[in-house]
Structure 1
Amino acid sequence: MKSLRIVFMGTPDFSVPSLKAIHAAGFTIQAVYTQPDKQRGRGKKVSSSPVKECAEKLGIPVFQPQSLKNPDVIAALADLQPDVIVVIAYGKILPKAILDIPRYGCLNVHGSLLPAYRGAAPIQYAIKDGVRTSGVTIMMLDEGMDTGKVLKKSEIVLDAKETTGTLFDKLSVIGAETLIPVLKDLPAYEAAAQSQDESKATYTAKITKEMTQIDFSQPAVVIERLIRTLDPHPGAYVLHEGHRLKIWAADVVPGTEAEPGTIIEVTKTSITVQTGRDALCIREVQPESRKRMATAQFLQGCHLTAGTML
């Protein structure tokens, strides 16, 4: 159905492969909706979303409304007469007035195998919980939180050292690959759409600052997953001499009877810390106001000894 009139809504890097794939497949993209430009960094430089930058390169009109509840915004979108709206990590909830506009409704590419991991952070929580598989779901949007009917899923096996960043990149590409066949035969997919099993639904909340400080009383396996969950942003940290030391890579190793948080071994390339169960061998760190570095490089300028508490 390349004659489909599509409006695309998305904001971060995760959305870009799907936008490119829709364009490359020859569909008519009438407009792209994305979050307003924001001031970032110390210089307060105004920057556009990755989706806006991509759309402008492709020559697609871009709209950045502050609110989708504005009657004028709704009317302008209705005037486009889209057959379908594709929504991928847009960052705004679509009101019913917009959900009802397209002939074929609104599609969403969600970064989990629904009904598992509904909500704001499905990719992060897949890493945090140590699941073996994840994937993407193409679903119909309704007024609930990721509760719509499922059109298609694609599943992958996670690597042992998968991070939020690596899984984010993989699922963004898989999402695009899964979406295009659905758009090409949309009426058939919608006719066969399956309702989600509410008894299997799980939910995710946003990642908060309170989650980023490492608690060494937790088992090493839990901490190691947290480190990968918060990579590349915002990073998990410990306090060392009053300053934050972010931990970017670590391995679970056998521990001792030492108190959790105690450094039990320092080599030229690693720092091993006792946890609530087992120990954590730290391989990559980032001192405050400096770049990420191997622990070996960090130890060249920082003298740590066994028995020190973190």
Structure 2
Amino acid sequence: MRVPGVARTLSMLAGDGGKKKVVFLGTPEVATIAFRKIFEASKAADSTFEVSAVVSNPPAKANRKKELQASNRTVMRCDAMRCDVWTPTGIMKKFEDSAEFLEKLESLSPDLCITAAYGQFLTKKFLTIPRLGTVNIHPSLLPKYRGASPVPRALEDGVAGGEAESQLGDAEVCAAVTGVSVLFTQFEMDAGPIIRQEEYPLTGDEKADQLLPILFDRGSELLLSALPGIFEGKYQQDGTGCIIQNDEEATYAAKMNKEESKLWFTENAKYMHNRVRAFAGWPGTTMDLVINSGCPDEEKMTVKIVTSRIRREQGGAIQLFTSLFPSISISSFSNSICDPFLSLPPLLIRLAHLHLLANEAAGNALVITCDDGSQLDAIEVQPPGKKPMDAKSFWNGMRGRSVERARVPWSTGKVPT
């Protein structure tokens, strides 16, 4: 939500008539959301602070020739707004690499540093430089999900499925929530005193790459609303006026890696759906398929699942049975539910076909049966070398060939990007 009168309140706090010096640190595209809001607020006629410098990661070697590219959207945004941009090679790697940067920062005498997805740890020396401290926007309800990937890990854990509890103690708030925290930065990762928190309710279908910008937008507004209190000393690095985190309640959000992106459907469909949501954008989630298995034109293909939904959440023996024998009504067996299993060879044949993907009647999904009998719909996929497409387009491209999910790992060396 927008907080009215923030700039006016800030102007009342500038007793000495000078503007507070703020340094912004951020790297990926989502950082530009926070930077834009902070920069625009600093340009208001009655603003009491200015963005004195922006710190971002240096340009990366991003193509085959290893040529330097513009490192991120933050740098490009700063160039457009004519801000002074610093790109130190690494604040934490070696002291000699960062000494020049720290000396430059110290000579600036900033009042406050603000970080948003900067991507590097800050040294103790750095944290002593800004007079009022360093404030971070973190997209989780701390102390839950400290670390590098709070939004993906929260979605992977099924926060939107109702397992999460409100961190703010409000019984009226829906349990299916995530949120954003504004906190002072300490040397220990994401463990500092919390200045403000805001919950954000979830529907259960949000993807990480959609949710992250929303949370940084909310966090930026939350930060701007807290700046008056920071400037006047209401909120301080030592915890004055803040919520002190309980380390015993902390959970950690480990950095994602490509090895986690493969789906084997040995888990429940709900967990698979949560992983598709969590890893959306990067690294994405992929499944290995076998096209026309056992035929001369058999083809192996790795397909990215872009969008999914839960078709049948409940697993178990009965659900697995209905997947194997869809034309037989369970209710017709009464107490003889095991009778169909007396014919073992036909059952083995049916089990062999459990891995086949079905085409939904309307052609809008690839129906995938997990090993426990639960089912997941892949409604948007991306074959290698192609753009994302809906399930109907994928099925049309198969031209009547069978599609089966692989039983064992294999690699074609050709993964959708």
Does TM, scored on the shorter chain, surpass 0.5?
yes
Paired position in structure 2 for 1:262: 355
SS in 2 for 1:137: strand
Paired position in structure 2 for 1:101: 129
Query: What is the deviation of 1:80?
Result: 0.5
Q: How does 1:173-212 map to 2 (within 5 A)?
A: 173-186=217-230, 187-190=233-236, 191-212=240-261
Task: State the alpha-carbon separation in 1 of the partners of residues 235 and 371 from structure 2.
Answer: 49
SS in 2 for 1:189: coil
Q: How does 1:23-42 map to 2 (within 5 A)?
A: 23-26=39-42, 27-42=49-64
Query: What is the deviation of 1:184?
Result: 2.4
Partner deviation per Cα, 1:166-218 (whole Å, 9 max, x = no partner): 11121111011111011122121333012101121000111111110102111
CA contact 2:158–2:274 (8 Å) conserved in 1: yes
- Structure of larger gyration radius: 2
Q: How does 1:68-107 map to 2 (within 5 A)?
A: 68=91, 69=95, 70-107=98-135
CA contact 1:266–1:305 (8 Å) conserved in 2: no
Paired position in structure 2 for 1:161: 205
Task: State the alpha-carbon separation in 2 of the partners of residues 25 and 301 from structure 1.
Answer: 51
With over 3 angstroms needed to count, the CA separation of the structure-2 counterparts of 1:303 and 1:44, relative to structure 1, is farther
Structure 2: runs of 5 or more not aligned: 1-9, 12-18, 43-48, 160-175, 290-298, 313-318, 325-350, 407-417
With over 3 angstroms needed to count, the CA separation of the structure-2 counterparts of 1:71 and 1:78, relative to structure 1, is same
CA contact 1:266–1:306 (8 Å) conserved in 2: no
Paired position in structure 2 for 1:149: 193
Paired position in structure 1 for 2:166: none
TM-score w.r.t. length of structure 2: 0.71
TM-score w.r.t. length of structure 1: 0.94
CA contact 1:138–1:151 (8 Å) conserved in 2: yes
Paired position in structure 1 for 2:337: none
Task: State the alpha-carbon separation in 2 of the partners of residues 62 and 304 from structure 1.
Answer: 56
Task: State the alpha-carbon separation in 1 of the partners of residues 309 and 35 from structure 2.
Answer: 37
- After superposing on structure 2, the runs of 4+ consecutive aligned residues of structure 1 that deviate more than 3 Å are 41-45, 254-261, 303-310
Paired position in structure 2 for 1:293: 389
Query: What is the deviation of 1:150?
Result: 0.6
CA contact 2:287–2:405 (8 Å) conserved in 1: no
Please tell me the root mean square deviation across aligned C-alpha atoms, in Å: 1.9
Task: State the alpha-carbon separation in 2 of the partners of residues 224 and 303 from structure 1.
Answer: 27
Q: How does 1:6-17 map to 2 (within 5 A)?
A: 6-17=22-33
Q: Read off the aligned partner of 1:262 and give its amino acid letter.
A: H
SS in 2 for 1:199: helix
Paired position in structure 2 for 1:245: 303
Give the number of the structure whose residues are more often strand, by fraction. 1
* Count of residue pairs brought into register by the alignment: 310
Task: State the alpha-carbon separation in 1 of the partners of residues 180 and 354 from structure 2.
Answer: 38
Paired position in structure 1 for 2:410: none
CA contact 1:217–1:261 (8 Å) conserved in 2: no
